[in-house]
Structure 1
Amino acid sequence: MTGTDPRRRGPRLPRRSAPGEHDTGLGPVLDHLAAIGPHFTLHHGSEPPGPPLPSSTEPAAGETDPAFHPLADLRGALLADTAADIGRRIGTTDPRVGASTLHLGLAARLWSAALGCAVLAGRVPDLAPH
């Protein structure tokens, strides 16, 4: 059982889910992942979790951070604008580079949370937009 192994470091974690069982109770696992670093932090909800984290793609002097939008809203013109903004931040005008960087960054964040939960608790969070 995951939470009783004395060799395991970190908090006591919830039991592993049976195959097909609905994922619940991953709060302690997500908290443990967040302690590893910001790339493993998984926020949810319709409001931003707080001020943006510093990154190598901060807006240039005089620019402002784009407004927070839930992931489910990131489509159409907003998606194109976000990809273009990322492209500008990394110094390119090619929209494909901005879109690719957005995609890879998002995939890495989601995969880090999912893989981290799988390693720590033997199951993954429900990442469906609710």
Structure 2
Amino acid sequence: MTDIFDVIADGTRREILQLLLQRSADEDAGTAVSQIVSELGISQPTVSKHLKVLRDAELVTVREDGQRRLYSLAVGPLEQVDDWLVPFLVDAYGDSAPDLVTVSVLPDGAAHAAEVVGRAAASAKHAVQSALKRLGA
């Protein structure tokens, strides 16, 4: 599998992901390549090349609609980035870590509860990993 960090290191791919994220928040059924080209001002071959990399990394999904291909964001692989990043935030800020921007369809109270639980789980995971390192395991 492609290293997710290599994939998101490219600024153009991050712009495409951000555009797809914005469109998913608007409950869009997918974004055509021509729309990405138009909104980002990038050539169609360049967009297609980056979409292939994003598709191979499973960061986007594609569905056919006639002759058009509609792309949508798939955030699952970004959990790997989150798992790597959270310990740095916990170490740096402790309980006063800044709120992370989340996109969800959960009501505000449930989304906040999920974020708190997720942050607690990441903190516990980091504590266990640190303890195991100290024990030489």
Whether TM-score is above 0.5 comes out as no
Q: Which structure shows the higher strand fraction?
A: 2
Higher helix share: 2
TM-score (norm 1): 0.26
